[in-house]
Structure formats: structure tokens, C-alpha cells
Amino acid sequence: MSDERIGVAIDGTKRTIEFSSIFDIVQGVSRLRKAGSTETVTLAFWGDNQRETISISTDVEVLVKFQKVLYRKLLDGIEVVATYRSRTGEEKRERHTYQLSVTSSQIRLRSTETDHQISIRRDGVTKFKTPSNSPTDGDQEPAAVIYSDTGNCISKTTVCMPSFRALNLFGRYLRADLLSTDEIGTTTGSKDTIEVLLVDDDPHDLEMAEVFLKEQSDRFSFTSVSSASEGLDALNQLNNSAEFFDCIVSDYQMPGTDGLEFLTEIRERYPNVPFILYTGQGSKKVIKQAILDDVTDYVEKGVGREQYQILSERIRKAVR
């Protein structure tokens, strides 16, 4: 890495990727991977007037360090407009232009107009959300709303980003497990229920997913359907109610509408619902296309319980 780009050599051919061309980071390091195991981080970027991806696989300890540096390179120095509210008996509102900087433990906003500074501990973030509109829907401002526990009160910080690319990368940062090396293999807990829509045409796979994901966390509540069309029907039935699915987990190979086509439908109708593609091993072409189509994450199906441990952790990250 330099200040402006990443250099890679693939089969003897050198290639550079400008940080300014990167628009998405998918998957990232899993908290449940053991030290010494191999993990993958996939970057999506603009190259030669088309969208491309590159997947980097190496020791989990190396990727922990890579991911931390990568987010700082992509986000540090971005100019944002933020509104801060805290409730300690009275509500305070302050709106300024800030420079954003991030670390593995803190989000910092330094005012470019005054000496004011906002610091948010990552482990204090209880929830964050982005606009329900897609980037093509009118003049919707690209903004993230962060709720954090300061110990004395709950604060709400609205961060207006300069572009939807910046918002997407910031959202990935907020969801990421930016671990220290001694945190690899640990888990975190939370009390809120997570409503999951499982979509798979194989009833055995559906049953196993429900059973073993429930073993991982009693937070999960499942609705299982056997096709993409049934999944859309389930979403449409809940669309006008107070309930909604927190995450969709979908197989790829299904009759009729496959997982990628289902993803396209979801992004058109429900652009901000987390969508995890749960696909067979070795489906690199499918995974690449899913990333370009704005999948939230992907998990490869395997043998044994580890796949459900990883899937469980990915769901929790997606809905954070």
C-alpha cells in the first residue's frame, strides 16, 4: 500500500488499484476464525471503465492488520456534516462540518469550523441505520444515523456523507469486526431478536440451517420458504406492518429464480435489507457477480457445524 493505491502481483502481472476506485468491501475477517486459519477479504472497484473484484486470501492475523489500514485509507479525511444529540435530561443539537477519522476502536469527527470534536467508541455503538431510499430515489441524502451508549446516556449522531460510495464504505466499517489479534476466536452477545428469512429449495438444508443456527444464538427467529417467489411474497406481506425481516439468507441454485436474480429483485424493492448469499463451495463466478450486485455478505456451504458458526456471525454483523 501507498497513500493512494494498493499494488498487487497476480501470476507475475503487476496491477494497481486506486483507493478512490474502491466502492465496496465484502465479507471481511470473521471473529470466529481461529488463529492461523485462512480468511478472505473481497474488494469491489472500478477498473478499465467496468466494475471488478479482487479477493485477498491469507492468514487471518495478516488480514486483521490489512483491514484496519484499509478502512483508514478509505475513510480518513472525508469531510462530512454531522448533527449530534445526547439525552441527559435535556437534548443538545450541534451541526457542524467535520473531518472523519476512524480506528479499530473509535470514530472521531473533528470540526473544521470550531474546536468541537465528537468521539464515538465502536464498542459503544448499539445500532446504526442508513436511509431506506436507494441512491436513485430522488434527492435522498447519503447519511448514517449512529446510536451509541456513552455510559451516562444514549447519543444519536447523524453523519451526512459526501456520496453514496462513502456511505457504503462507512457502513461496511461500522459492521466490520476490526479485531485485535487476541480477539480472534471470540464471540460477542446481544439481546435483540433477529428475524431471518431463509430461502432454499432443499428442505433438508432449511431444516439444518434452522436447527444449527438456533444452537448458535437464541436471538434468531426464522421464516423458511422454498423459493425466491415465496420469499418475495413473505416480504410483501410484512412491508406495510411494523414487522420486517432483519436479514435474508438465500441459496443460489434454485429452480425458477436463482439466488442472484433474487438478490436483484430485493435490491430494487428493498435496497437496505441485508442479503447473505449462502452458496456452494467453489462458486467464484457467482460470488463475484453477487458482490457487484451489492450483496451484503456471502458464506460458502460446507460440511459440519463450522459453516453455521460462520453464517451466524455473518448474520449478526449484517444487522448490527
Convert 13-29 to b/e letters by CB count within 10 Å (16 or more is b): eeeebebebbbbbbbbb
Q: Which cell goes with 270? A: 428493498
- The two counts, helices (H) then strands (E), for the chain are 7, 17
Kindly report the CATH number assigned to the domain that includes residue 268: 3.40.50.2300
Would residue 174 count as lying in a domain?
no
pLDDT at residue 137 in the model: 44
pLDDT at residue 189 in the model: 47
8 Å CB contact between 213 and 308: yes
Would residue 94 count as lying in a domain?
yes
Would residue 242 count as lying in a domain?
yes
Q: Say which residues have a Cβ less than 8 Å from residue 200's Cβ, sequence separation at least 6.
A: 206, 209, 224, 226, 250, 251, 254, 278
Other C-beta atoms closer than 10 Å to the C-beta of 237 total 10
pLDDT at residue 161 in the model: 92
Kindly report the CATH number assigned to the domain that includes residue 25: 2.30.29
State the Cα–Cα distance between residues 54 and 11, nearest whole angstrom.
14
Which domain range does residue 151 map to?
A: 79-161
Would residue 157 count as lying in a domain?
yes
The residues of the chain scoring below 70 in pLDDT are: 27-35, 86-94, 131-140, 151-152, 177-192, 238-243, 281-282
130 and 66 share one domain: no
pLDDT at residue 270 in the model: 84
State the Cα–Cα distance between residues 81 and 102, nearest whole angstrom.
16
pLDDT at residue 55 in the model: 86
Q: Specify the 3-state DSSP secondary structure of 201.
A: coil
Would residue 61 count as lying in a domain?
yes
Backbone CA torsion sign across 299, 29, 319, 262: negative
pLDDT at residue 142 in the model: 86
Would residue 24 count as lying in a domain?
yes
Predicted TM-score (pTM) of this structure: 0.68
Would residue 189 count as lying in a domain?
no
8 Å CB contact between 43 and 17: yes
Would residue 172 count as lying in a domain?
no
229 and 280 share one domain: yes
62 and 90 share one domain: no
Question: Would you mind telling me the total number of residues written for the chain in this entry?
Answer: 320
DSSP 128-169: EE--SS-TTSTT---EEEEEEE-SS-EEEEEEE-SSHHHHHH
pLDDT at residue 181 in the model: 46
Other C-beta atoms closer than 10 Å to the C-beta of 193 total 12
Output 133-140 pairs: Cβ under 8 A, ≥24 positions apart. Answer: 133/271, 134/267, 134/271, 134/272, 135/164
pLDDT at residue 226 in the model: 93
- Residue at which a domain ends, from 73, 101, 123: 73
pLDDT at residue 221 in the model: 87
206 and 290 share one domain: yes
Q: List the alpha helices (DSSP H) in the chain.
A: 60-75, 164-175, 203-216, 228-238, 259-269, 284-292, 306-318
Q: Which cell goes with 222? A: 426464522
262 and 201 share one domain: yes
252 and 229 share one domain: yes
200 and 266 share one domain: yes
225 and 296 share one domain: yes
Tell the residue number behind the cell numbers 438444508, with chain if given: 205
Total tally of structural domains belonging to the chain: 3
Which of 176, 195, 213 has its CA nearest to residue 312?
Answer: 213
State the Cα–Cα distance between residues 317 and 307, nearest whole angstrom.
15
pLDDT at residue 109 in the model: 92
Amino acid in position 209: A
157 and 216 share one domain: no
